[in-house]
C-alpha cells in the first residue's frame, strides 16, 4: 500500500484538485461531473449522493 495525497477546492460547480501528479479541474451539474485529470485525460462521471458509489468513463 502506498501513501497518496489529494486536496480539492470547490467554487460553486467547479472543482480544482491538487495531487502529486498536478492539478485537475472539473465541472458538475445534476450529479454528473465532466473534467480533465492532471495528466490530461478527459472524463465524465455520475455518482449516487451519500453512498460513495460512482461510475467514471474516460473519454480519450
pLDDT given for residue 31 in this prediction:
82
pLDDT in tens, the chain (60 residues): 677 777 888 999 999 999 888 999 999 988 899 999 999 999 999 988 888 888 999 997
**Residue 4 cell numbers, joined:** 497518496
Sequence-distant (6+) residues with CB within 8 A of 1 are: none
Q: How far apart are CA 37 and CA 39, in angstroms?
A: 5
Count helices and strands (H / E) in the chain.
0, 6
Amino acid at each position: 500500500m502506498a501513501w497518496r495525497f489529494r486536496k480539492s477546492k470547490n467554487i460553486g460547480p467547479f472543482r480544482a484538485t491538487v495531487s502529486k501528479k498536478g492539478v485537475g479541474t472539473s465541472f458538475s451539474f445534476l450529479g454528473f461531473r465532466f473534467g480533465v485529470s492532471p495528466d490530461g485525460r478527459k472524463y465524465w462521471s455520475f455518482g449516487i449522493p451519500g453512498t460513495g458509489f460512482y461510475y467514471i468513463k474516460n473519454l480519450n
